[in-house]
């Protein structure tokens, strides 16, 4: 694999020597021969229900009511789902004839909708969507969250060896690997090629129109895709199989300079996701060289975010990836935030962008405040999507007994926010006292530095 010169060292936000900075190093860009991938598949225990392996076109009803860890499998399609998933430890009282069990279950996991805090007022946009319930691959866009106009998301799982078919999009694609590993390949408009292996915690980006493919390695892969268009739909992807299906075979033969008989076995339908020959372990075997050469490493389509240590704060940790360290994703800025039990992502807002949030692990809640006096509190579980419009304040509180982890994505050149606490602490003490009637003791506790995550 030909390696290209590294980016010049960029300025970072510095922390104490013992605490990693918020941003990582350019060394994490692109391919590295020393990079290691996971070798063991997750242990997923489940039981198939009657009819689940019947032909997919039969479409028989599948009763998951009493299933042991139901999985998104039908016939020869789909695959296991190692998470994230919605989890609820309560049991539904089937003897309660006054309530629908499904509604009661929904109420139990969305307590702030059933009994909202007194600070809630009116109704904001709907800022919560359970990605877990939208199918596999699962999708969120303006069809289900009409006000989430800036970004859309897809949660996708590939079994070992399976492909996400050769394709491209009109929208830009930013991705975080949720678990497992995969091999990604692309070629840009200059004919420069790209290939890399990525694993849980890594990030990739493909600009609009750049064709690419994804193949799962052992032990399979699940990844989150974020697109820079809230109307984006996976159904509108340009697929290689469809390009061939909708051009005359005589034209294809002329285009490639090969006999028309070469196209007799083309797929009759779009492949989308399909099983394939396992990728060779040595990535060099699939590294195609062209006269244009590889994509310069400074413009790499991957960033090994998993290798970047998190910046520790009192209530958890934060790490950021944005164009300062991942230049090709010129308008995508993101943070992975971990909140310890009882802790909270401090009250903040983003002046430069809406925030698209994906909950990776745990459970939490957030109050979305919209001017002048509208507020709604939402409850979230792993697999949910949150959406907070530009300059609308919000927090995210851990309401569970395990770490809460989520991804914040902005359409911005840098990951920035304004923290309510820092604003007040950096404003004349008398102005704050006159406005909010806070005591001297309370004013003394305000901090001039961002906390990011506060402890419980």
* ω into 84 cis (within 30 of 0): yes
Q: Which residues are catalytic, by number?
A: 408
CB-CB neighbours of 373 under 10 Å: 8
Domain 308-454 falls in which CATH fold? Answer: Jelly Rolls (2.60.120)
The dihedral through the CA atoms of 112, 117, 123, 128 has a sign that is: negative
Assign 58 a pLDDT band (cuts: 50, 70, 90).
confident
What is the rounded average pLDDT for all residues in the chain? 85
Given a cut of 70, whether residue 300 has pLDDT beyond it is yes
Asked whether residue 135 carries a pLDDT value surpassing 80, the answer given is: no
More confident residue, 95 or 382: 382
With a cut of 90, say whether residue 7 has pLDDT above it. no
For residue 399, the model assigns a pLDDT of: 93
Q: What pLDDT, on the 0 to 100 scale, is given for residue 321?
A: 98
Whether the pLDDT of residue 12 is over 80: the answer is no
Annotated binding residue 212: yes
Between 106 and 219, name the one with better pLDDT: 219
Residue 398 pLDDT > 70: yes
Q: How far apart are CA 24 and CA 318, in angstroms?
A: 11
**Tens-place pLDDT, residues 137-153:** 788 999 889 999 999 99
Stretch (H or E) spanning 34? none
Residue 169 annotated as lining a ligand binding site: yes
Q: Is 132 annotated as a binding residue?
A: no
Asked if CATH classification 1.10.10.10 holds for the domain at 150-303, the reply, yes or no, is no
Residue scoring higher pLDDT (101 or 41)? 41
Query: In 3D, which of 217, 223, 98, 86 has the Cα closest to residue 161?
Result: 217
Report whether 222 contacts 81 (CB < 8 A).
yes
Residue 114: per-residue pLDDT? 45
Of 155, 157, 156, 160, the closest CA to residue 39 belongs to 160
CA distance 109 to 114: 9
Per-position DSSP letters for 276-326, written without gaps between them:
-PPPPSSGGGG----TT-BPPGGG-SEE-GGGSPPEEETTEEEEEESTTT-
In tens, the pLDDT along 76-125 reads: 766 776 666 433 222 223 333 333 444 434 444 554 554 566 666 665 76
Q: What is the pLDDT, as a whole number, of residue 20? A: 92
Whether a cis peptide bond, with omega within 30° of 0, leads into 386 is no
Q: What is the pLDDT of residue 9?
A: 32
Contact residues for 150 (Cβ-Cβ < 8 A; gap 6+) = 228, 230, 353, 354, 356, 411
Residue 314 confidence (pLDDT) above 90: yes
Residue 61 has pLDDT above 50, yes or no: yes
Residues 64 and 73: their CA atoms lie apart, in Å, by 12
Other residues' Cβ atoms within 10 Å of the Cβ of residue 257: 6
Q: What is the predicted pLDDT for the residue at 313? A: 96
The DSSP output letter for 433 is H
10 band by pLDDT with thresholds 50, 70 and 90? very low
pLDDT number for residue 136 = 53
- Residues spanned by CATH 2.60.120.10 within the chain? 150-303, 308-454
pLDDT above 50 (res 370): yes
Span 182-205, pLDDT tens digits? 999 999 999 999 999 999 999 999
Q: Among 54-68, 174-188, 372-386, name the one with the lowest average pLDDT.
A: 54-68
Residue 47 has a pLDDT of 81
Judged against a pLDDT cut of 90, whether residue 416 lies above it is answered with: yes
Please report the pLDDT score of residue 11 as a whole number: 37
Taking the model in full, what pTM does it have? 0.79
Would the pLDDT of 216 be above 90?
yes
- 173 marked among binding-site residues: yes
Distances in whole angstroms, Cα of residue 319 to Cα of each of 29, 126, 310: 16, 27, 5
Q: Is 394 annotated as belonging to a binding site?
A: yes
Three-state secondary-structure class, residue 424: helix
Q: How far is CA 180 from CA 199, 210, 221, 222, in A?
A: 6, 24, 4, 6
Nearest CA-CA partner of 28 in 198, 271, 247? 198
350 marked as part of a ligand binding site: yes
């Amino acid at each position: 694999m030909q390696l290209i010169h590294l980016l010049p060292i960029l300025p970072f936000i510095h922390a104490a020597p013992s605490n990693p900075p918020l941003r990582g190093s350019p060394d994490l860009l692109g391919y590295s021969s020393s990079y290691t991938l996971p070798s063991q598949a997750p242990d997923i225990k489940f039981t198939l229900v009657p009819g689940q392996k019947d032909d997919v076109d039969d479409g028989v009803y599948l009763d998951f009511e009493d299933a042991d860890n139901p999985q998104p499998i039908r016939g020869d399609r789909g695959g296991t789902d190692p998470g994230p998933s919605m989890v609820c430890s309560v049991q539904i009282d089937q003897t309660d004839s006054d309530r629908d069990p499904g509604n009661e279950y929904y109420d139990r996991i969305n307590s702030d909708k059933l009994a909202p805090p007194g600070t809630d007022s009116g109704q904001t946009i709907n800022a919560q969507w359970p990605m877990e319930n939208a199918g596999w691959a699962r999708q969120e866009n303006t069809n289900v969250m009409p006000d989430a106009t800036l970004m859309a998301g897809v949660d996708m799982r590939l079994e070992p060896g399976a492909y996400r078919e050769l394709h491209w999009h009109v929208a830009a694609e930013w991705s975080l690997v949720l678990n497992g590993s995969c091999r990604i390949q692309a070629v840009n408009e200059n004919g420069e090629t790209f290939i890399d292996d990525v694993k849980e915690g890594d990030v990739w980006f493909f600009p609009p129109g750049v064709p690419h493919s994804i193949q799962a390695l052992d032990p399979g892969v699940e990844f989150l895709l974020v697109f820079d268009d809230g109307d984006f739909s996976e159904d509108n992807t340009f697929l290689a199989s469809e390009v061939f299906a909708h051009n005359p075979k005589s034209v294809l033969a002329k285009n490639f300079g090969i006999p028309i008989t070469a196209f007799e076995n083309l797929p009759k339908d779009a492949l989308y996701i399909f099983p394939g020959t396992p990728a060779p372990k040595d990535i060099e075997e699939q590294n195609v060289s062209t006269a244009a050469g590889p994509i310069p490493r400074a413009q790499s389509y991957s960033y090994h975010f998993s290798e970047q240590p998190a910046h520790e704060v009192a209530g958890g940790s934060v790490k950021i990836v944005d164009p300062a360290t991942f230049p090709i994703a010129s308008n995508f800025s993101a943070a992975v935030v971990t909140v310890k039990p009882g802790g909270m992502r401090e009250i903040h807002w983003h002046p430069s962008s809406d925030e698209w949030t994906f909950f990776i692990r745990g459970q939490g809640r957030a109050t979305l405040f919209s001017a002048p006096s509208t507020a709604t509190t939402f409850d979230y579980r792993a697999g949910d999507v949150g959406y907070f419009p530009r300059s609308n304040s919000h927090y995210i509180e851990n309401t569970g007994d395990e770490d809460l982890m989520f991804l914040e994505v902005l359409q911005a050149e840098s990951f920035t926010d304004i923290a309510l606490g820092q604003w007040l602490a950096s404003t004349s003490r008398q102005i704050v006292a006159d406005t909010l009637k806070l005591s001297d003791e309370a004013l003394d506790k305000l901090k001039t530095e961002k906390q990011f995550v506060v402890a419980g």
